[in-house]
Amino acid sequence: MNIENRRYVIIAFIITVGVMYIFRLFYMQVIDDSWSDRAHQISEKRREITPPRAVIFDRNHTKIVANKTYFNLMVIEDKMGPNFDTLAFAELIGWTKQEIHERFAEIIKGEGIYYNRHNNTRISNYQRIRPYPFLKELTKAEMAKIAPYLDAFPGFFEEETSMRFYPYPNAANILGYLSEVNAKEVKEDNFYKPSYNIGRAGIERYYEKELRGLKGVHYVVRSALNNDVKKYEDGIYDTVAQQAPPIELGLDIKLQAYGEKLMKNKKGCIVAIEPKSGEILSMVSAPSFDPNLLVGRKNVSRHYPKLLKNKDKPLYPRPTQAEYPPGSIFKLVQSLVGLQEGVIEPNTSFACNKSLVGCHNHPAPSSIERAVQYSCNPYFYYAVKRIIQQGKENSVFKDAAVGLTLWDKYMRSFGFGEKLQSDLTGLRSGIIPNTKFYDHWYGKHKWAFSTIRSIAIGQGEVKMTPLHMANLAVIMANKGWYYDPHFAKKIGEVPVTSFKKHQTMVEEKYFEPVISGMWSVVNEEAGTAGRARIEGIDICGKTGTVQNPHGEDHSVFIAFAPKENPQIAIAVIVENAGFGGTWAAPIASLMIENYLTKDCKHPEKELRVLKANLLEP
């Protein structure tokens, strides 16, 4: 090859290499932003500032969820120096040297690995020159024992942070709790970083995005050695973290605390709702626990396993997830459907035939009002038979299917058999058996009313959550309608208006005789809930004694008050407590009195409830 040709080869080689480098540089800077991101991580530090979570108030503007100052003990390993006295530091914080080394290993592992796909190498994201939380969630008292001695341990310093604080040791099942995010949550939402907290249950979970606020950003320029040099562009791009506006609930925290007090040493629940708005005033799940027990990682790891293993299930949200047969409170609905369908009249009477279904001794049920007052089982056997078997088909089996389909539509209009719309998570629908349900068990057209008659008195296959039961009391108070039961009242200054109004299939005029019966249940001598009577307050209620195959019957009572312009509707369930009028009714009356008068004029009734331990057989 002559010299001229060699020169062209060399020039071509240089041009080719140059083009390759230019293309590679273009790819790295324009197409592939991972190199740019990595460079920014070194030269420019973007520090995100997380605001404290929003404060939560009750309906009386009492603060029920706040934030409390805590401290993290931070460490920059590169500043510890070669002569760091690990043994002395371990003694200061009450650890061993081995635990110190294990904690550093944990921090390094938690930072994960950076994968460079260009050269197929992996390096740790951990940087010795960056600060990391060595100890988290230290109280002021705990930090005060450490802080005065930190000058002797270079690389360690304190950093202020905040965690949730619940001024009232109540409403744990409503408010929920926080815990650290997992890897999936970090990946799905760029708001979160490892060690951030997220709502795990209750209001904290449902309104997570409304509570967490907006993060701020602080930019600093860093040197080649990764040390802070100055603010980037004098801080003109920095943003301030914004705490989210407060949330106001319809909850009455003092009523909630009183309900939890009444339900001490009992298993069951109380749900109270303001009828005209659907706002939940109280939702007691008993046994309950102090929500502060689940604040912070240390508390969660210490207390959650104990609560989970507790045989009385304090973590189980009974008001929204427990499904009970409604028992005799269901007779109110049967009365309304019968009247609307025209198969009974307000003055319809039936004999109390105990050979059909068992019943207690009481005067003859000469009307709907008296049947409700006495809670006569045979009366409602006859009434519901007329609803189901209306003679629309010649075959008694086909006729029952037609009747039950109609009955099912009525039940759905009351919200039964469906999850109520709410700002609660984990709601259950209960059970309203329909034709498909019974066809599955008995075969199509192989069952009639006589097969399913237990539904007439709220037993058998019918199931409701306590929230459904309280909502029934709301429907009775409103004479046919209800709003979605919910907690949120306002977010900031903006009223929450997303909850809908629902109308049942029963006209308002048919509620009058049934409500009169409810009034008689409480206020007349032959009523089944005399213990719910309160002088000066017209309470309308209905008892239920719910059969329990696993032990003693459950005591159930629903009510609203006052009779005119109702302010509160309530359901009380006390498990394994027998007759509805014995325990559920007086507890409901004490709650009603407390809410309406802020007083208790029946201290003997209150003392009886407070002293009762119904957890023991």
CATH number at 282 reads 3.40.710.10
pLDDT single digits (tens) 507-541: 999 999 999 999 999 999 889 999 999 999 999 99
Confidence at residue 466, expressed as pLDDT on a 0 to 100 scale:
97
Q: Coil, helix or strand for 308?
A: helix
3-state percent breakdown (helix, strand, coil) of the chain, nearest 5: 40, 20, 40
Residue 381 has a CB neighbour count (10 Å cut-off) of 21
User: Does residue 198 form part of some domain?
Assistant: yes
CB-neighbour burial class of residue 239 (10 A; exposed 0-12, middle 13-18, buried 19+): middle
Q: Are residues 504 and 593 in the same domain?
A: yes
Q: Are residues 433 and 569 in the same domain?
A: yes
Q: Are residues 257 and 118 in the same domain?
A: no
Confidence at residue 379, expressed as pLDDT on a 0 to 100 scale:
93
User: Does residue 181 form part of some domain?
Assistant: yes
Work out whether strand 56-57 and strand 247-249 pair parallel, antiparallel, or are unpaired: parallel
What φ, ψ does residue 240 adopt, rounded to 5°?
-90, 135
Q: Are residues 342 and 367 in the same domain?
A: yes
Domains in the chain, number: 2
Among residues 249, 284, 308, the one where a domain terminates is 249
The whole domain housing 502 covers 253-300+317-611
Q: Are residues 192 and 108 in the same domain?
A: yes
CA angle 98, 306, 554 (to 5 degrees): 175
User: Does residue 162 form part of some domain?
Assistant: yes
CB-neighbour burial class of residue 498 (10 A; exposed 0-12, middle 13-18, buried 19+): exposed
Q: Can you give the length of the chain in residues?
A: 617
Tokens of 599: 């007083």
CB-neighbour burial class of residue 501 (10 A; exposed 0-12, middle 13-18, buried 19+): exposed
User: Does residue 192 form part of some domain?
Assistant: yes
Sign of CA dihedral 237, 240, 244, 245: negative
Alpha carbon separation from 95 to 89, 332, 347, 509, 604 (Å, rounded): 8, 64, 79, 73, 54
Q: Are residues 168 and 262 in the same domain?
A: no
**Ranges of residues in the chain whose predicted pLDDT is under 50:** 35, 37-44, 224-230, 232
Among residues 211, 226, 249, the one where a domain terminates is 249
Q: Are residues 75 and 217 in the same domain?
A: yes
Confidence at residue 111, expressed as pLDDT on a 0 to 100 scale:
76
Residue type, 104: F
Alpha carbon separation from 328 to 273, 443, 522 (Å, rounded): 21, 29, 15
Q: Are residues 260 and 189 in the same domain?
A: no
CATH number at 78 reads 3.90.1310.10
CA distance 359 to 317: 33
Confidence at residue 59, expressed as pLDDT on a 0 to 100 scale:
97
Q: Coil, helix or strand for 434?
A: coil
Q: Are residues 198 and 336 in the same domain?
A: no
CA distance 271 to 371: 26
User: Does residue 312 form part of some domain?
Assistant: no
What φ, ψ does residue 320 adopt, rounded to 5°?
-110, -20
360-367, long-range: CB < 8 A, 24+ apart = 362/526, 363/526, 367/513
Q: Are residues 218 and 291 in the same domain?
A: no
**Residue 244 near residue 51 (C-beta atoms within 8 A):** yes
Among residues 232, 249, 266, the one where a domain terminates is 249
User: Does residue 3 form part of some domain?
Assistant: no
**Residue 579 near residue 543 (C-beta atoms within 8 A):** yes
Q: Are residues 295 and 226 in the same domain?
A: no
**Residue 70 near residue 56 (C-beta atoms within 8 A):** no
User: Does residue 535 form part of some domain?
Assistant: yes
Q: Which helix (H) or strand (E) holds 71?
A: strand 63-75
Helices (H), 71-176: 86-93, 97-111, 140-146, 172-175
User: Does residue 309 form part of some domain?
Assistant: no
Q: Are residues 198 and 270 in the same domain?
A: no
